[in-house]
Structure 1
Amino acid sequence: MYEYINGLITNITPSYIVIASRSGVGYRLYSANPYRFEENVESHVYVQQIVRENDISLYGFIDADEKALFNKLLNVSGIGPKSALAILANGDAEGLISAVENDNVAYLTQFPGVGKKTAQQIVLDLKGKLDELASKTGMINASSSPEQSQALDDALEALLALGYTAKDVKAVAQIIGRNSDTTDGYIRSALKLLVK
């Protein structure tokens, strides 16, 4: 139902933030790490609504990729919103994706509430299903500007939308990340590599 909320972060607690929308409503958003947000700062927070028998809760995320990973985790048998947040609190999406793809059950059992059986279920349910998210993590050169990073992200999303596999996009991302600074330039560079 909700995609995101723009508003002022009015309160930060260990488990949730409160964001006051421009309409004057304050929303409680449970978050993996509420302290990534800044109090008294206008923010753009991605939101997921979870409806249960006796509860309706909102969960807030720093970006759309974190929200997507949360939803993927919720599809795993035995993982609920609290467990998914505990896994995301680590902040290492690339490590999580790598663990799933490489059957690293030991890595997954380090999270609260995730035993060996649940870790095996995470691998079983998510292996091969995190390709799009994997293609977006760890590819941006640390020295690039925020504008270059956004342009590269947009280009990678465009390539995925064109039908290229996440594996192909990831393969060219490292190369094109050094060659341009506009979305169009990144796409052109990538297409030259992909059509060879």
Structure 2
Amino acid sequence: MLMTKGRYIMYEYIKGLVTNIMPTYITVEAAGIGYHILVANPYDFEQSDQPIQVYLEQVIRENEHTLYGFTDLDSKRLFEKLLAVSGIGPKSALAILASNDHTGLVRAISEQDIAFLTKFPGIGKKTAQQIILDLQNKLTDLPFYGQTDLNDLPAAMEAQAKGIPNQALADALLALEALGYTKKQLQGIEKKLATQALTDTAAYVSAGLKLLQ
């Protein structure tokens, strides 16, 4: 069993059915066992009768045995690199990944853009400087490195759908709060989100992150 900085590397991924989606986690059932997995944006996943593959990172500490999940291997690798930064824990790393603008994140680190990094919850100037110091020359193996275009907002944000249930927005606000944004920050964007015709909770979360940043 390999141990590094308090982390035991035991699982690479899990294949199973998504049986539950909550603002802070998803449940994936595999071989009759339901796995509680924390993810950056639970609403990126859908409940279905078709199995999916979720990449995993397990964190074991004195009072914590937790699984973190990712839609692809590159996101997991970026999460691992963020965890290696002094002062960055799993919650902060997930909050950073939730924006889905991994290209912008990598570019900000490469260009020493502290202002970009301090927009994430829990990331102050000192921590932003530490991220740059620790990762500036360690991201060249990621596919996001060297790209120039920021990820666009999901197409769902532009859809002029009607009749979106308020529950979708409520769930999105809970998911954003779980990432570390304050109630005051969320109150500041709630009315703007409510005026947007979005198709689902994932779109609300993405739109909310854009407004917060």
TM-score (norm 1): 0.68
2:39 aligns with one of 31, 42, 46: 31
- Alpha-carbon distance in structure 2 between the residues aligned to 1:101 and 1:83: 19
The answer to whether the 8 A contact 1:93-1:137 is kept is no
1:1-196 pair list within 5 angstroms: 1-21=10-30, 23-40=31-48, 41-134=50-143, 138=147
How far is 1:128 from its partner?
1.1
The answer to whether the 8 A contact 2:139-2:145 is kept is no
- Alpha-carbon distance in structure 2 between the residues aligned to 1:73 and 1:81: 8
The answer to whether the 8 A contact 1:6-1:43 is kept is yes
Question: Which runs of at least 4 in structure 1 moved beyond 2 Å after TM superposition?
Answer: 134-139
How far is 1:104 from its partner?
0.1
**Structure 2 unaligned runs (5+)?**
1-9, 149-213
Decide whether aligned partners of structure 1 residues 134 and 120 sit closer, same or farther in structure 2, where only a CA change above 3 A counts: farther
- Give, as a single letter, the amino acid of the residue that structure 2 aligns with 1:2: Y
**Structure 1 unaligned runs (5+)?**
140-196
- Alpha-carbon distance in structure 2 between the residues aligned to 1:123 and 1:136: 14
How far is 1:96 from its partner?
0.3
How far is 1:135 from its partner?
5.4
- Alpha-carbon distance in structure 2 between the residues aligned to 1:39 and 1:118: 36
Identity among equivalent pairs (%): 57
Decide whether aligned partners of structure 1 residues 114 and 91 sit closer, same or farther in structure 2, where only a CA change above 3 A counts: same
How far is 1:79 from its partner?
0.2
SS at match of 1:91: coil
The answer to whether the 8 A contact 1:70-1:88 is kept is yes
Q: Which has the higher contact order (CA 8 A, sep 6+)?
A: 2
Query: Which segment is superposed worse, 130-139 or 63-72?
Result: 130-139
Q: CA RMSD in A?
A: 1.4
- Alpha-carbon distance in structure 2 between the residues aligned to 1:127 and 1:47: 25
- Give, as a single letter, the amino acid of the residue that structure 2 aligns with 1:36: D
